[in-house]
Amino acid sequence: MKYITTIDNHEYAVEILDERHILVDGVEHGINLESVGGQPIYSLLVGGRSFEVHVYPAENGYQVLVHGNLYLARVEDEREQRLRAAMVEAVPDNQEFHLKAPMPGLVIAVPVSEEQTIEKGDVLLILESMKMQNELKSPRAGKIVRVRVKAGDSVEHKQTLLSVI
């Protein structure tokens, strides 16, 4: 599985190869990660170097303490990153917003209809991709002006699904 890890506004592509090997930005590293006594403390060996790592859940990821330095880390798989990017698109209230597929998939449900008034955060469409159902929500209040897909339709990445004004 591939993950995108963001630390101090820098993104790292991380791929887990097996229990003892990972790729970070295309470079392979041998690792050993062990929990210490059921606490949020880990013993990490990377390339023969030893680290004591403290990991605490935070609002948007994890706080990671290593050698006295505190980092905020956000870890997302590729699907989560595409969904977040698709929903971040800010559109002024006076412009039409086009909901586009953040990934190829199958439309499971469209719980809205044309002319329906919606609120920010309302579910506009449920899309299945890689055997996971994703709720695509409205980034703002408005009215549905056009629904371009229906349940059972296959869609491509960036295909327009519906429009809101």
- Domain boundaries along the sequence of the chain: 2-77, 89-164
CATH number for the domain running over 2-77:
3.30.700.30
Residue 94 main-chain phi, psi, to 5 deg: -95, 5
pTM for the full model? Answer: 0.52
CATH 2.40.50.100: does it fit domain 89-164? yes
At 26-81, the pLDDT tens digits run 999 999 999 998 889 999 999 889 999 999 998 888 999 999 899 999 998 877 76
Buried b (16+ CB within 10 A) or exposed e, 15-49: eeeeeeebeeeeeeeebeeeeeeeeeebeeeeeee
At 74-125, the pLDDT tens digits run 998 877 766 666 555 556 667 888 999 888 899 999 999 999 999 988 999 9
Contact 143, 117 (CB under 8 A): yes
